[in-house]
Amino acid sequence: MDYVYGPGKNHLFVPGPVNIPEPVLRAMNRNNEDYRSPAIPAMTKNLLEDVKKIFKTSTGTPFLIPTTGTGAWESALTNTLSPGDRTVSFLIGQFSLLWIDQQQRLNFNVDVVESEWGQGANLDILAEKLAADHSHTIKAICIVHNETATGVTNNLATVRKLLDHYRHPALLLVDGVSSICALDFRMDEWGVDVALTGSQKALSLPTGLGIVCASPKALEASKSAKSVRVFFDWNDYLKFYKLGTFWPYTPSIQLLYGLRAALDLIFEEGLGNVIARHTRMGKATRLAVEAWGLKNCTQKEEWYSDTVTAVLVPPYIDSAEIVKRAWKRYNMSLGLGLNKVAGKVFRIGHLGNLNELQLLGCLAGVEMILKDVGYPVKLGSGVAAACAYLQNNIPMIPSRI
């Protein structure tokens, strides 16, 4: 795709990386510092405590790793499991597929439960596997909370209920890359053992921080896990936590200041209000899609995502052309369909530091693009549907709690 300069600001509506708010940009606009000075450890200590709040945990131990979500995946796996360990992992889209591929390449025995793309994890099959596993050969359940490729959100509370019902000791490892800080996530209540996210998603930071949180059970498992790890070894972090210096290697100073500013914005709005805002954005987008006469890739309402909507297009339209036209003509970035849904869907990201007017602008742009590629959309239909819903669901003044 050739680069074409477009006037005005790029309209970024992919499901990550997302728009970075001005206070975060300003916070990161600083020189390097000595991370061994008293200032960085002091800030890190406060960050680690505040990061626990977005996972909703009082017992978890967070790690701020200079990496992406892929590195955070590897950290979760290699610190808790040994080669040959059996995992149950759900294949429901491109990102769950990539995590499964990583598990296989790390020499775990991956029991794959596959669903049609657009469906959630098949928890009935999980129940069957747990019921049959009397000798507890399953060491971990690996599940993507929000599958970014298809806009499917899985029910983690049900996964925990199944584990508890069958009194199964398997670890629960959760990819929350496109959910944490945007969707309801309760690490302690749902008994999640390792949760992870990436800085470029709902936190609205640049890419570069993999944020992992481990339960006491996961930390205990790390003591006997035999997977090779060096850069991602939690033990190295824990040693420096005890020393009060926190960093086993050089951190990204600028990203730490950015994280501080991002968390401050979230706490000022109130985490509950942030989640409610994403709920409104997701519903408004789905109403627009319905008004256009198009369908959601996600097949049931119970799986609808409030951070990304994957829109199915008619067979006579290549969804890649929609994304290409958005970029070339309107200086707007939409998400491509990936792998099995390539050419069949385009994705609208509605996560991060985003407000109603930004979303309505995006929906107006999508309508013009649909018209450009020959789809008989009624201009203004989706915008009107979304606007009516948003107008009738105006939030109260955000709580500063």
Distance CA 345, CA 298 (A): 11
Cα gap 285→283, rounded to integer Å: 5
Q: What is the rounded distance in angstroms from the CA atom of residue 114 to the CA atom of residue 15?
A: 23
DSSP 8-state code for residue 394:
P
CA separation for the pair 93, 154 (Å, rounded): 12
Please tell me whether 347 is known to bind a ligand: yes
User: H or E element: which one contains 112?
Assistant: strand 109-114
Q: How far is residue 374's CA from residue 335's CA, in Å, rounded to a whole number? A: 19
Q: Residue 155: which H helix or E strand, with range? A: none
Query: What secondary structure letter does DSSP report for 89?
Result: E
Residues 6+ apart with CB under 8 A from 278: 182, 183, 202, 306, 307, 350, 351
Nearest residue to 297 via CA among 62, 75, 119, 80: 119
CA dist., res. 119 & res. 383, Å (int)? 27
Report the SS3 class of residue 44. Answer: helix
What is the bridge-based pairing of β-strands 152-153 and 146-147?
antiparallel
Q: Are 75 and 232 in contact, with CB atoms under 8 Å apart?
A: yes
For 358, other C-beta atoms within 10 Å of its C-beta total 16
Going by their DSSP bridges, the two strands 295-296 and 11-13 should be labelled as unpaired
Annotated binding site for substrate: 347
Annotated binding site: 347
